Structure 1
Amino acid sequence: MRSTLPTFNEVWQQQLRSCLLNTWPSADVKFLIACSGGMDSMLLLHVMSALFPHKIRAIYINHQLQQPSASWGEFVRLECEKLNLNCVVAEVDVQNGNLENQARIARYQAFEQHIAPDEILVLAHHQQDQAETVLLHLFSGSGVDGLSAMRIHDPRTHLNIWRPLLNLSREQISQWVKQHHIAYIQDPTNFDTHYDRAWCRETLWPLLQSRFPQMQQAISRSSLLMQDAAEILAEVAQQDLKLCGDADQLDLKLLQQLSMPRQRQLLSNWIKGQAAYRPSLATVERIQSEVIAAKSDARSALHHAGFYYLRYQNVLYKVSKAEYLAQQQSPVPQELSVFLNQKIKLAAGEFCIEQQAWGLSWELLEQPLSVMPRIGGEKIHLHGRVGHWPLKKAIQAAQIFPWQRHQIQILSKDNVMLGVFTPKGFWLAESQYNQQHGWQPQLLFSTP
């Protein structure tokens, strides 16, 4: 009995070529095929090798979680050899935690490590994979982005991903594999319902499909609609970001003029930054309640995914973990001897010794000077101002962030304050060592 499914040669080669030309018209594009040895990726490997024989290579990721995983890698390598394709077999270490999530993280890290700048990563996800992803994201409480699931063309910071099978059913793929006698391996974990995706596929899917036979296509359509909605929300969030700040800070007065849903969307996009995934709703709400809504004199800070989020003078800042924690280590006292045009690196940044209209005496060059960390309670008589001023007040007036104040160092000679090194530059103090056309350290760039 003749199958009602179209044959591979009748339909899919034309679809694949059309998709490629619409997405990447450049003739210079090359492909890295992620091949697990399973049915879907082996069909993809064979088709791509037939269509673009000189522009592809393959990569097999050995997660080292199953005893036969090394032999599966050898199977993929030998199949690639038959097709005259280069194949990378990459071993990864999967960290503790949710096994599926950690395996995915390790896999994508390996992709980023091995992909060439002119290559596109090609994945064999199909329509049922897409529908399963939507269901799993729905069960985990995802928003519009999560329900958008996977995209055919998915440009990321370090990867450009293409999923040419995404609109094709598993039945089509299975038939084409049989028609072309393509060998493949079967991973037993695909049927282990201990894992969420396998449970969804083996237990939930048949039940739902018995009631809703067109469920797969319907869920795929929903994901496309969610992708449109996500793009619209992203455009609005970009407009709001331009209004309220930039990638590193948000003006809270402007942010709070937006409706609460737009505030949440903007914060979610802003926190995500260049990461692959958005933060959870709970994380966004914690930043709203614990940081934004904290008392004005509170120094609340919330850590998430390598950054600290904190408020200073009605602005919300996103600060790297390394920069924020650096304040716990004050610079040690040191002795310094400088000469003209010398570049020196201090806690606050890099400075250059230059002649200025007013500065320090030339007699101090190449003489031992003390550089001491600020300890609190110091007073400074800033050059050009009347009277002494608490250094703390000068720092506040200059709006130096609290998490950068550990970088401040005092330059002195025989216990006479000559000036202060800060992330905003060198502040010259009034002293008997000042003169016209003297020298000063000029800030070249601040320490992050």
Structure 2
Amino acid sequence: MAYSGGLDSSTLLHALAGMEAARARGLSALHVDHGLQADSRAWSEHCQRFARSLDVSIRRITIEVGPGAGPEGAARRARYGAIETVLAPGEILALAHHRDDQAETVLLKLMRGSGPEGLGAMRTLRPLGLGHAWRPLLDLPQATLRDYASLHDLPWVQDPSNFDMTIDRNLVRAQILPRLRERWPEADASLVMASAWARAASDFIDVAAEQALASLQGLDPATLRYRGWLDLPEALRDPSLRRWLRGLGLSEPTHFQTAELMRQLAEAGDDRQPCVRWPGAELRRHRDLLYASAPLQSPPLDWMARLDAGDVVLPADLGVLRLVSAGDGTPLIEPPFPLYVRFRHGGETIRLSGSEHRRELSQLFQESGLPPWERGRVPLVIAQDGTLLAVADLWTGEEGQALFARLGCRVQWAGRSGTAG
């Protein structure tokens, strides 16, 4: 279990140590030293003494707390990040959060404008790393824990940061909740009950959002039918969008950015390609689909490289272009004249097999449905005289087919990222 040395975790560790079932499951303590207080080393030593007095093994890990929106949040992220790295598959981490903590969390989430998931606050059991986090005390007020500690004469340490009123949770704990309890004695129970209702609503919405996303996602997972998304009930639009982005490994928007996306999708004409971006993600509309990607880079207009038997590493994280064997047993032959790789300059044409006339590359791109923002990121294979031989491995012109047949090769575009097909 997670053991800080405070009242709550000392009570839980003592109670678990008295349970044969907990010991049979391999009860041990984990102490995270944030190094934020001058006495942190002494606290760690106290924790080790108390665990040993209970005949419970204890592990101490030291972390560095980086910058964040606030010291409490930064410490929490660092703490759970470290715990996730040491939690074994299927292992359960017991946490000593109680009903008072839950009530505080609900108020804090409310002040941040959270939706049902946030207002659902802490769950009794949730996934954590390769295991689970378990909060067995959520139904108990801290007064019960304090009575238990007093009864068993348990020692604990007091963190002086608990008295820092610049920390939001401390302010809620010391000033806001006491005032609420004066007026409404059952304030904690009411907040926790409201949290349970919000959690149930969140679970329902989560299932509905998953079903909605399955019906809207395109053949390319990075696409979404935007009109169907706009037609979703308001309660499903935001969670289905976030589920989609999480599945793609992209960052999620703020509520303002989601509202701006909705506005642009609803108001932009069919001839426009609206784009809403935030750190880590870009969303663009093309035809009937919404495309999501990591921030895209544009290759330099004047970039050009020689294409021979080796790999050409393309700029803007666009992977590698190479000539590979055609696979028919013909040995790969070096080109008799220089071949080059570059990107669109505009006005390129290509004659496809069986066609009497050259086609404009822009027209081919449009007919293929390739989104406009991707067209300038497709590498072109050019002959020394400027003839367009191949458009990556998408199309090969008649001149290119004849040349590559003689050389026993074909063009391969590999390792590209962020390109929607």
TM range (shorter): 0.7 to 0.9
Supply the distance in 1 between the matched residues of 2:35 and 2:250 (Cα, whole angstroms): 24
Matched to 1:354, the amino acid is S
Supply the distance in 2 between the matched residues of 1:362 and 1:380 (Cα, whole angstroms): 24
Q: For residue 64 of structure 1, what is the aligned residue in structure 2?
A: 35
Distance verdict in 2 for CA 1:100–1:272, change over 3 Å = farther
Match of 1:316 among 290, 298, 303: 290
Question: How far apart are 1:106 and its partner, in Å?
Answer: 2.2
Q: For residue 370 of structure 1, what is the aligned residue in structure 2?
A: 340
Matched to 1:255, the amino acid is W
Supply the distance in 2 between the matched residues of 1:274 and 1:348 (Cα, whole angstroms): 19
Question: How far apart are 1:186 and its partner, in Å?
Answer: 0.8
Distance verdict in 2 for CA 1:427–1:392, change over 3 Å = same
Q: For residue 396 of structure 1, what is the aligned residue in structure 2?
A: 366
CA RMSD of superposed structures (Å): 3.4
Q: Is the 8 A contact 2:63 2:78 kept in 1?
A: no
Match of 2:60 among 54, 74, 88: 88
Distance verdict in 2 for CA 1:303–1:276, change over 3 Å = closer
Match of 1:439 among 401, 404, 409: 409
Q: Secondary structure at 2:277's aligned position in 1?
A: strand
Distance verdict in 2 for CA 1:104–1:404, change over 3 Å = farther
Supply the distance in 1 between the matched residues of 2:97 and 2:402 (Cα, whole angstroms): 71
Question: How far apart are 1:343 and its partner, in Å?
Answer: 7.8
Q: For residue 196 of structure 2, what is the aligned residue in structure 1?
A: 224
Q: Is the 8 A contact 1:333 1:372 kept in 2?
A: yes
2:399 is the counterpart of 1:428: no
TM-score, normalised via structure 1 length = 0.79
Distance verdict in 2 for CA 1:164–1:447, change over 3 Å = same
Question: How far apart are 1:219 and its partner, in Å?
Answer: 1.8
Match of 1:409 among 368, 375, 379: 379
More off after superposition, 76-85 vs 168-177? 76-85
Matched to 1:61, the amino acid is V
Structure with the higher fraction of residues in strand conformation: 1
Distance verdict in 2 for CA 1:239–1:156, change over 3 Å = farther
> How many pairs align?
406
Distance verdict in 2 for CA 1:46–1:74, change over 3 Å = same
Q: Is the 8 A contact 1:291 1:310 kept in 2?
A: no
Q: Is the 8 A contact 2:332 2:409 kept in 1?
A: yes
Supply the distance in 2 between the matched residues of 1:348 and 1:426 (Cα, whole angstroms): 15
Q: Is the 8 A contact 1:121 1:161 kept in 2?
A: yes
2:68 is the counterpart of 1:113: no
Question: How far apart are 1:152 and its partner, in Å?
Answer: 0.4
Supply the distance in 1 between the matched residues of 2:41 and 2:301 (Cα, whole angstroms): 50
2:45 is the counterpart of 1:74: yes
Q: For residue 174 of structure 2, what is the aligned residue in structure 1?
A: 202
Q: Is the 8 A contact 2:5 2:156 kept in 1?
A: yes
After TM superposition, the structure 1 = structure 2 runs for residues 124-163 of structure 1, keeping only pairs within 5 Å, are 124-155=96-127, 160-163=132-135
Question: How far apart are 1:367 and its partner, in Å?
Answer: 6.6
Question: How far apart are 1:355 and its partner, in Å?
Answer: 2.3
Supply the distance in 2 between the matched residues of 1:160 and 1:366 (Cα, whole angstroms): 63
2:353 is the counterpart of 1:383: yes
Q: For residue 228 of structure 2, what is the aligned residue in structure 1?
A: 254
Supply the distance in 1 between the matched residues of 2:183 and 2:303 (Cα, whole angstroms): 71
| Percent pairwise identity | 27
Q: Is the 8 A contact 1:291 1:302 kept in 2?
A: no
In structure 1, runs of 5+ residues without a counterpart are 1-32
After TM superposition, the structure 1 = structure 2 runs for residues 174-323 of structure 1, keeping only pairs within 5 Å, are 174-245=146-217, 248-271=222-245, 280-290=254-264, 293-304=267-278, 306-321=280-295
Q: For residue 16 of structure 2, what is the aligned residue in structure 1?
A: 48
Question: How far apart are 1:222 and its partner, in Å?
Answer: 1.7
Question: How far apart are 1:362 and its partner, in Å?
Answer: 6.3
Distance verdict in 2 for CA 1:48–1:203, change over 3 Å = same
Distance verdict in 2 for CA 1:81–1:275, change over 3 Å = farther
Question: How far apart are 1:196 and its partner, in Å?
Answer: 1.4
